[in-house]
Amino acid sequence: MRAPMLLTAWLLGLSAGRAPAPEGSAVVAVRARYLMGTTCRVTAWHEEADRAGRAAAAALDEVAAVEALLSTWRDDSELSRLNRRAGEGPVEVSADLAAFLDVALRVAAATGGAFDPTVGPLVDAWDLRGEGRVPDADELAAARAAVGFDAVRLHDGPSALDLTAPGARLDAGAVGKGWALDRAAEVLRDHGVSAALLDFGGQLLAVGAPPGADGFRVAIADPLARERPAVLLVLRDASIATSAQSERGRRVGEDLVGHVIDPRTGRPVPVLGSATAWAPTAAEADALSTAFLVLGPAASAAWVAGHPDDRGVAWLEPTDGGLTLHARGAIVPGLLRLRDDVTTDAALAAARRSR
Ligand code: FAD
Ligand code: MG
């Protein structure tokens, strides 16, 4: 089972099946299921109790369908079957998979490859799904030669994908959960749900806000002590995702072999902090949190400054005696409270003073 989440949803006054008596007498249903190696939890409000429960269950079915499409932990997924044909030229793909690949490749291009879904050969070389290992120079060179989103060609009419690099392997690990959450939220809306919180291994997607509230109060955990919240914020009609090497990292000899790789160097990112991304869709938040961990606080802040203002970043950097928060963009207005030993960098302190 995965370690405690880096993000915690505090549904004020809520526990499974019980809710404050909000306006419009909406009732809440909470459904959860073990999917993609972690727990996916859907909390949905609706005027009719059984509609909320049915909607939440249908949303989880949609997440399960995305797992069947994208899981490279299963040989029978469409993505695994596609990976086995790397180097064979264009392979026809379903409209679903083409839509996913289009989003993943766009974020890869937008982040200069800091997020790169072709990272599979490096995940394997470092054995990030096993005990972790340090590859020798030749293994690392061979893996790096098979990685690079710019060697992937997505053709349309009919949709076909060409994994041109022999040995290439697409890995949905950094974006698949987010993609699944967006699809699940569409199912909830189709069921008439206009207020819900989806929590997938710590990634959160808010549909609207809890009835009678301005948003969901959620927390970003301390990357060095995940059971301790470091930052409290309000989330509404957006998603936040956090990446950190402490999530699934492991020690191999002297090396911290974390599960996030810098595709530009071929090595695990040597950082101890955490990067939280805020975006209008969960797929983008998921992929951006990985990219921001690779880029580091300064380059992440520069990326947010150069992109539409409904994106944001909150980088928590361990410093002497505590944490420094580098937050920029859409996440800043939602910041409610920082733990006493969490300081802000000068730019954030100025932004908060001017509010
Ligand atoms: P993120 O930072 O979002 O992603 C890190 C993951 O993405 C790494 O694990 C690696 O796979 C990949 N990655 C590393 N560096 C990069 C990079 N720079 N760019 C792009 N990708 C990168 N886990 C299980 O234990 N069992 C399962 O059966 C299982 N099934 C899954 C099925 C699906 C469809 C998905 C999406 C995930 C599944 N997982 C499973 C979890 C997955 O393997 C990752 O560990 C998890 O998604 C990490 O998410 P994160 O948000 O913590 O880290
Ligand atoms: Mg992620």
pLDDT of residue 7: 60
What is the pLDDT confidence band of residue 17, given thresholds at 50, 70 and 90? very low
What are the residues facing 277 on neighbouring strands?
241, 313
pLDDT of residue 247: 65
Find out whether the beta carbon of 100 lies less than 6 Å from any atom of ligand 1. Answer: no
pLDDT of residue 13: 30
Tell which residue, 258, 230, 29, has the closest CA to residue 122: 258
pLDDT tens-digit map of 104-137: 999 999 999 999 999 999 999 999 999 899 999 9
pLDDT tens-digit map of 248-298: 667 777 777 889 999 999 999 987 899 999 999 999 999 999 999 999 999
* Distance of alpha carbon 164 from alpha carbon 166, whole angstroms: 6
Tell which residue, 285, 270, 312, 315, has the closest CA to residue 297: 315
pLDDT surpassing 60 at residue 9: no
pLDDT of residue 347: 84
* Distance of alpha carbon 330 from alpha carbon 340, whole angstroms: 23
Find out whether the beta carbon of 259 lies less than 6 Å from any atom of ligand 1. Answer: yes
**DSSP notation for 132-168:** -----HHHHHHHHHT--GGGEEEETTTTEEEE-STT-
pTM of the model: 0.93
Per-residue pLDDT, averaged over 4-22, amounts to 42
Considering only CA atoms, which residue is closest to atom 22 of ligand 1? 174
Distances, alpha carbon 103 to alpha carbons 106, 176, 259, 288, in Å: 5, 11, 22, 12
Find out whether the beta carbon of 178 lies less than 6 Å from any atom of ligand 1. Answer: no
* Distance of alpha carbon 296 from alpha carbon 300, whole angstroms: 6
pLDDT of residue 25: 60
Q: Phi then psi for 121, rounded to 5 degrees?
A: -60, -30
Find out whether the beta carbon of 284 lies less than 6 Å from any atom of ligand 1. Answer: no
Considering only CA atoms, which residue is closest to atom 17 of ligand 1? 115
pLDDT tens-digit map of 72-101: 999 999 999 999 999 999 999 999 999 999
pLDDT surpassing 70 at residue 214: yes
CB within 8 A of 302, min separation 6: which ones? none
